[in-house]
Amino acid sequence: MATELCPLDLAELERPALEAALEARGHRAFHARQIFGWIYRLGVADVARMTDLSRELRAMLADEFVVSTPALAGREKSIDGTEKFLIRFADGRTVESVYIPDTPAMTFCISTQVGCAMACAFCLTGRMGLVRNLTAGEIAGQVRVLAEAVHMREGFIDPEGFAPADPPRLRSRGRGTPLRSGGRACGAPAFNIVLMGMGEPLHNYDATMKALRILADEYGFNLSPRRVTLSTVGLLPALEKLAHEPVMPNLAISLHAPTDVQRGELVPLNRKYGVADIIAACKRFPQRRRHRITFEYVLLAGVNDRPDDARRLAKLLAGVKSKINLIPLNAAPGIPFERPSDEAVDRFARILADHDLVVSVRKSRGRDIRAACGQLIVDTGRKSPAQQLAALAFG
């Protein structure tokens, strides 16, 4: 009895893999560039609309491939312009992604997992436990959905404009810049990406890095790694591996405390990878000229916001090419901490600045729709085993 092969998902393929798949089916590899342009630059997932491909190729693609696109299941807008999107995948699982305008660039905050296994004490996502990892296509797919929803594809459109149903042909000249049919260079996206949504990116390492390569492809979104920031609590083996990646995003370390005792209470992973180990790894991490590693520090009233905490943090980061992003807690039901006063936040920042550290205080965006840092959480229905363990741990 013959076994029917499952179609390949174009959204899960990097361009070299797509080139190989096309060649294996008797078609020329350069068509992969055109397909990437349609899917990522122009937002077209229906191969029948990819009109610069031959009818034969389109028929083959329709028979042997699919283009999975996450569904936009919900959308809320904050009074400050921030928008939160509920993204649903083929299995019904959901994540939240956030669009933050004027930061000063436009920023997409993207999730890498459904839930999170890190269980940080001040984060609602951690209370879900880990449901499952996202695939590379699901991570990159959030960018496709948000770019369409907030009309951020204009960077790829000719100044004269054209109807979305009838876009110009995409072509290329050798290995150089992708060009439009008139010879004009295609644009780059006008947005940044932060991997700071639901999940720990380095806990889903392979899919996260594959997604970044897909997003960086010059025939797709052409998203420079300089426009991407990856936030991690410090999974050291993966952090060491990241240091050798050809597509390397900006790095943000979720530190939140200057000592192992304090951090171990807030970030359980610290019991395995301590503060000194993380700082040592950061000192070894390759940094481009003038670039710094960001250290994120959620300020919790009476827990880690005292002057002595600031002085210990300054001593810890002495000699590290860094900047510190202070984040006053975004309080929410279920988080057992309070936001510090503005006076406490200012005092903490001044102490760090007096020690010649680069410091900023993050302005919370989207708090009224629970889209701010640490507030993303979805109802997953049936609990996975990891979620059941999280429920036992947190009550």
Catalytic residues, which ones? Answer: 96, 373
Beta strands in 136-183 (DSSP E): 170-172, 178-180
Nearest CA to 195 among 264, 118, 249?
Answer: 249
Cβ-contact 219, 37 below 8 angstroms = yes
What is the SS3 assignment for 201-227? Answer: HHHHHHHHHHHHHHHHCCCCCCCCHHH
Tracing tokens 């410091």 back to the chain, one arrives at 359
* DSSP secondary structure, 225-292, as one string: GGGEEEEES--HHHHHHHTT-SS--EEEEE---SSHHHHHHH-GGGGTS-HHHHHHHHHHS---TT--
The CA distance from 138 to 151, in Å, is 20
**Residue 197 near residue 111, CB atoms below 8 Å:** yes
What's at 61, amino acid-wise?
Answer: L
CA-based radius of gyration for the chain = 22
Residue 294 and residue 320: Cα distance in Å, rounded? 10
Q: Are 98 and 81 in contact (CB under 8 A)?
A: no
DSSP state of 157: S
